[in-house]
């Protein structure tokens, strides 16, 4: 049990406005360790981080509870700035919008060129992308009364001309194989049509501006998609259908009928996969969700006014992930009366703007090692106005140190509406409540081992942070323990200091003297860059009279 405690101690956060609970349970469900950190990140939105260990290993989940009726909280859809024909990372999508407090990855997508979402994207009654072709993938919906639901949709889309012609449309801003089915695209798709090429036999593109056909193009190169219009297009057999039914000057209306839903009543809709939970119980899955993998899901409370946005990490050295049954069970545990699975695997991504943070940041561990480019996402946006200072959060860059090794203190402020505020560093006052050390700007240099408590005062608002100052440095350890590099390749090196009891912490590169014994590369802080000569060398890190080395080839 001591090993379990020690393994997770580095993951804990030291912040104000966080409630943290740790449970050690030996029960039928085999959970032996659980730590939950909760933080209100803005009014009506709470982030919960769950770290749990049981017979199946470690579970690492990020959960966001969103009260849909909270004033100033809105949902938004995220997509690439280049349109639905391309993918982008969730962080880049979120950075294009202001005041995103939370976001998760969204729908599945076709692994084709061009890209496109499998399911629907609807905002304020306007279709960005039509629903899924098949009916075994569900759609998440929030109506104009902020009531959320998930369901399997059936729909039909058609274009009607003023001459009485009716032409069915297969998709809106959604790729069909080699454009064989009739597709409608607008500026949500991108800036240009695909145009003719040998793979798109007999491509026809009907350009419509302000509901009037201005051009019927056959086997023509790509053209601009009008900003105040759209293009109907198809190749092969359906190209002839378009060519025969549309003429310049025709007035065209595109109608979308989503069975059981009025389009004007839809505030936001986003496609996903199978329904995981129905009526508070695991549903009958319409797609296979086998194997433990990273997962993303959206849950809905019984009163349908609260969303539960969940990511579970997997394909990681510590976290295996969950299968469909495990995900459904977790969603019910978290309060879901209904739930839908979203894209998972390497696409599972969660962003959070913590209380007092100015930007949203990645909080999960994407299984690719970095964020994957995805087709869309769901964002939670705060529209609350800036108010008076309410409080501060104090963080330290490492919760342990050694005598003579400084740590950086960061102060974040938030207002009465839980909006972040910029901090004027000249107004910060630091004090030691326990322990010994000195301050230089926002850095604290400890001079005595033991528990140190630092108090920060900012314009009358106070908060504390704790630093554990370890006993005498006994040895150094370099991570990784060896390197194999190509010419000009770089590697980041981390030096861990270890005391006589085996406790360790990172020692910043400012305190480390690095040496390449043979001189095959160069250092810039803790980053090593290989040169243009082959061979083997040894990299050595030194602090005081302590050294550590690793082999490099």
Q: Per-residue DSSP letters for 445-465?
A: EE-S-EEEEEEEEETTEEEEE
**407: preceding bond cis by omega (within 30 degrees):** no
Please count the CA atoms within 13 angstroms of the CA of 368 that sit on its side-chain side: 12
| Burial of residue 194 (number of CB atoms within 10 Å: 0-12, 13-18, 19+) | buried
Total residues found in the chain within this entry: 553
Site of tokens 């319409």: 286
Taking the C-alpha atoms of residue 348 and residue 377, their distance in angstroms, rounded to an integer, is 10
Give this prediction's pTM.
0.86
Taking the C-alpha atoms of residue 325 and residue 323, their distance in angstroms, rounded to an integer, is 6
Phi-psi region of 180 (alpha: psi -120 to 50; beta: other; left: phi over 0): alpha
pLDDT value for 2: 33
Report whether 161 contacts 148 (CB < 8 A).
no
Which of 482, 510, 318, 481 is CA-nearest to residue 401? 510
Which DSSP category does 371 fall into?
P
Site of tokens 């090794």: 405
CA-derived radius of gyration, the chain: 28
Digitized pLDDT (tens) for each residue of the chain, 553 residues in all: 333 333 333 333 333 344 666 665 444 457 889 999 999 999 999 999 999 999 889 999 999 999 999 999 999 999 999 999 999 999 999 999 999 999 999 999 998 889 999 999 999 999 999 999 877 999 999 999 999 999 999 999 999 999 999 999 999 999 998 999 999 999 999 999 999 988 887 999 999 999 999 999 999 999 999 999 999 999 999 999 999 999 999 999 999 999 999 999 999 999 999 999 999 999 999 999 999 999 999 999 999 999 999 999 999 999 999 999 999 999 999 999 999 999 999 999 999 999 999 999 999 999 999 999 999 999 999 999 999 999 999 999 999 999 999 999 999 999 999 999 999 999 999 999 999 999 999 999 999 999 999 999 999 999 999 999 999 999 999 999 999 999 999 999 999 999 999 999 999 999 999 999 999 999 999 999 999 999 999 999 999 999 999 999 9
pLDDT value for 56: 85
Query: CA 51, 57, 60 angle in degrees (round to 5)?
Result: 25
pLDDT value for 22: 65
| Burial of residue 64 (number of CB atoms within 10 Å: 0-12, 13-18, 19+) | buried
Which DSSP category does 319 fall into?
B
E-strand ranges in 235-384 read: 252-258, 266-271, 275-278, 281-282, 295-300, 306-312, 338-341, 350-352, 361-362, 376-382
| Token pair of 369 as six digits | 């090692």
Report whether 238 contacts 181 (CB < 8 A).
yes
Query: CA 294, 297, 299 angle in degrees (round to 5)?
Result: 150
Beta bridge partners of 407: 444
pLDDT value for 21: 67
pLDDT value for 135: 75
pLDDT value for 201: 77
Contact partners, residue 114, CB within 8 Å, separation at least 6: 85, 86, 175, 190, 194
């Amino acid at each position: 049990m001591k090993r379990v405690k020690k393994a997770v101690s580095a993951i804990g956060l030291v912040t104000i406005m966080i409630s943290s609970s740790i449970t050690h349970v030996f029960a039928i469900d085999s959970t032996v360790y659980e730590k939950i950190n909760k933080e209100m990140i803005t009014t009506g939105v709470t982030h919960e981080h769950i770290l749990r260990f049981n017979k199946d290993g470690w579970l690492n989940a990020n959960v966001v509870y969103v009260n849909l009726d909270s004033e100033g909280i809105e949902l938004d859809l995220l997509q690439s700035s280049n349109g639905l024909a391309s993918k982008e990372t969730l962080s880049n999508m979120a950075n294009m919008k202001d005041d995103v407090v939370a976001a998760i990855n969204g729908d599945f997508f076709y692994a084709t060129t061009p890209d496109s979402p499998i399911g629907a994207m609807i905002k304020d009654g306007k279709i960005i992308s039509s629903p899924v072709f098949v009916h075994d993938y569900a759609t998440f919906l929030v109506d104009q009364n902020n009531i959320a639901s998930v369901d399997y949709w059936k729909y039909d889309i058609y274009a009607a001309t003023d001459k009485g012609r009716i032409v069915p449309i297969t998709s809106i801003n959604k790729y069909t194989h080699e454009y064989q089915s009739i597709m409608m695209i607008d500026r949500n798709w991108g800036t240009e049509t695909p145009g003719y090429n040998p793979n798109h036999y007999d491509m026809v593109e009907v350009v419509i501006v302000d509901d009037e056909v201005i051009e019927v193009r056959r086997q023509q190169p790509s053209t601009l998609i009008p900003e105040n219009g759209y293009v109907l297009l198809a190749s092969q057999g359906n190209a002839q259908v378009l060519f025969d039914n549309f003429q310049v000057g025709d007035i065209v209306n595109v109608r979308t009928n989503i069975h059981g839903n009025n389009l004007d009543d839809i505030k936001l809709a986003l496609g996903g996969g199978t329904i995981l939970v129905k009526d508070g119980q695991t549903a009958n899955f319409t797609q296979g969700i086998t194997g433990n993998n990273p997962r993303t899901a959206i849950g809905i409370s019984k009163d349908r006014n609260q969303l539960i946005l969940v990511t579970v990490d997997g394909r990681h050295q510590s976290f295996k992930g969950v299968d469909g049954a495990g995900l459904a069970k977790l969603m019910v545990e978290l309060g879901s009366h209904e739930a839908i699975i979203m894209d998972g695997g390497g696409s599972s991504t969660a962003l959070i703007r913590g209380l007092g943070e100015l930007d949203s940041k990645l909080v999960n561990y994407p299984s690719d090692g970095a964020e994957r480019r995805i087709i869309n996402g769901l964002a939670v946006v705060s529209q609350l106005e800036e108010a008076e200072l309410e409080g501060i959060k104090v963080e330290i860059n490492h919760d342990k140190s050694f005598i003579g090794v400084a740590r950086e203190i960061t102060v974040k402020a938030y207002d009465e509406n839980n909006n972040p505020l910029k901090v004027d560093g000249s107004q910060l006052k630091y004090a030691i409540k326990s322990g010994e050390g000195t301050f230089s700007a926002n850095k604290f240099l400890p001079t005595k081992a033991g528990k140190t408590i630092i108090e920060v005062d900012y314009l009358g608002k106070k908060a504390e942070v704790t630093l554990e100052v370890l006993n005498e440095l006994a040895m150094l350890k370099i991570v990784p323990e060896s390197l194999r590099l190509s010419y000009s390749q770089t590697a980041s090196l981390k030096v861990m200091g270890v005391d006589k009891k085996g406790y360790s912490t990172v020692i910043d590169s400012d305190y480390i003297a690095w040496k390449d014994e043979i001189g095959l590369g160069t250092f810039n802080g803790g980053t090593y860059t290989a040169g243009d000569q082959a061979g083997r060398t040894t990299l050595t890190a030194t602090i005081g009279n302590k050294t550590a080395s690793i082999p490099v080839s």
